[in-house]
Amino acid sequence: MVTGLMNIRTYLFIVLLMLSILISLSFAITSTTEPAPMVSSQEQEVSVNVLREAYEWKFSEQEKVGFVFFSCKEINCPRIMNEYKVPIYRGIYKAYFPDGFVLTLADVSGKVIESYYFVESVKEKEILKDNLKQYALNTNYYLRLSSKQKQRIHYMRIYSDPFYRALNHTENNDLEKAFNEIYVTLNKGKLIEIEKNNPEIPYKISYEVSNDEIPRYYGLRSLFYFIKGQTEEAQKDAQMAYNLNPNDTWAKSAMAYVNVKEGKYRDALVLVSDSKEPLNKLIEAIAYAKSGDFKKSAEVYATIPQDYLTTKNTFRRYFISQAQEALSPYIQERKLLATSYELKGQLREALNEYAPLLKISGETESKEIFRKVSNLLKRNPSLMELPEEARRHALRAEAMTGEGKFEEAIKEYKKAIEISPFTPALYKALALNYAGFKKYKEAIENIKMYLELYPDAPDARRARDEIYRWEALMEKEGK
């Protein structure tokens, strides 16, 4: 009897033990779906996403990256999440590269929060200099880099080169900072202070300007002086740059613009006619227009890439506006000719006059041309038909879209638009490809052009709804 009770107790004990083991295993299995516990900077294991992201910024397999974990006890995680719209669970990583490049990464997703250069040691400076030479200044190698590697080079050049940094300030429409960057470098031989991504954290470097670099600094400052309306200073700097090196691109640009201002148009053309730089093409177009050769001026202006002309960059906008002002008499004359064709009912001839004007007109005039052409298309829908060459590019683009090659399709649609700038369907197709490529700003711009040319399109309501949808996606992605 006693033996029987003991057997029963033993049996029950074994059953309970097995149940407890099963429950423990159950908890262990479910807990694997949770983020791995993050304890301290030393004990923290780097997540796969963080490693993958940092790897994509490396220049080579051999480049070593060090990681440091900062917990939310050490940093203000709520502020970072609010500012950068990125989820953080227990902290962030800092990835440190050998040349002073730093990435700040979210702990689980690996999303980049900050990226910048902070060079302190002599060894970091040496590696940075070598990387500049090998990756940034080697054109053949640079073209093979990924977008993230190119972005790293962009940060590298902002950190190490005051001239490049000045041009970057113009991209942000801060001409005063750009001017001061050049002014301080020329007057002191070194730059005192530069900014990291966070403008609240200044730090110091020194930068010696070599004799070979000085002409471009004077050339760029000359052009800044022109924008500021300080003509005398602009002329002095241009002459200084040209005397130091008459073959320097920026020295030639500055001297050519001085010649334009002094009415020496032939001398200006000698300096810039062989250049393919968009800025020099603008100066060339201004020189031709000022000399009375409007047709040649329009031809030169039409060769400038559209991306350059549609920029919001204040530095570029100054010279674009000067060229458009110089071409204004020619534009008005051609518009009058187009209007006369309209009155005679010669709509295709009118369209042919408006097409080249679109390439040399400013934003306001371009919108006016689109409105006029929209009325022409309404009167004669057959004008929307694609010419054969434009059709070839459009069909190539369609095939690429079907394969998901949106970037290649965009290039083909742009070629078609060059030939047939008033075919609404091309702008709609271009917009959809930009959206497929997640470039929603460009998608919105092109779908608006579609609606300007074809406001009564059967799918106009749907096109407007796409604008709202893309705007929402832009907000979500913080663009």
pTM of the predicted model, to two decimals? Answer: 0.71
Mean pLDDT along residues 351-368: 84
Rounded distance between C-alpha atoms, residue 401 and residue 286, angstroms: 39
Cα separation, 125 vs 119, in Å, equals 6
Check residue 329 and give its pLDDT.
94
Render pLDDT for 19-42 as a digit per residue (tens, 0 to 9). Answer: 454 444 343 333 333 333 333 333
The CATH topology of domain 387-476 is 1.25.40
Window from 23-32, 133-142, 437-446 with minimum mean pLDDT: 23-32
Arithmetic mean of pLDDT over the chain: 84
Measured in degrees and rounded to the nearest 5, phi and psi for residue 21 equal: -65, -45
Residue 373: pLDDT over 80: yes
The amino acid at residue 304 is I
Kindly tell me if the per-residue pLDDT of 206 is higher than 60.
no
Torsional class of 202: left (φ above 0), alpha (ψ -120 to 50), beta (otherwise): beta
Residue ranges matching CATH 1.25.40.10 in the chain = 387-476
The top-level CATH class assigned to 280-384 is mainly alpha
Quick one: the chain helix, strand, coil %, rounded to 5? 65, 5, 25
Q: Is 141:135 a contact under the CB 8 Å cutoff? A: yes
Which residues lie below 8 Å from residue 234, measured CB to CB, with a gap of 6+? 222, 223, 225, 226, 254, 257, 258
Distance CA 80, CA 69 (A): 15
Q: For residue 36, what pLDDT is reported? A: 34
Q: Once rounded to an integer, what is the mean pLDDT over residues 162-173? A: 88
Residue 44: which pLDDT band, with cuts at 50, 70 and 90?
low
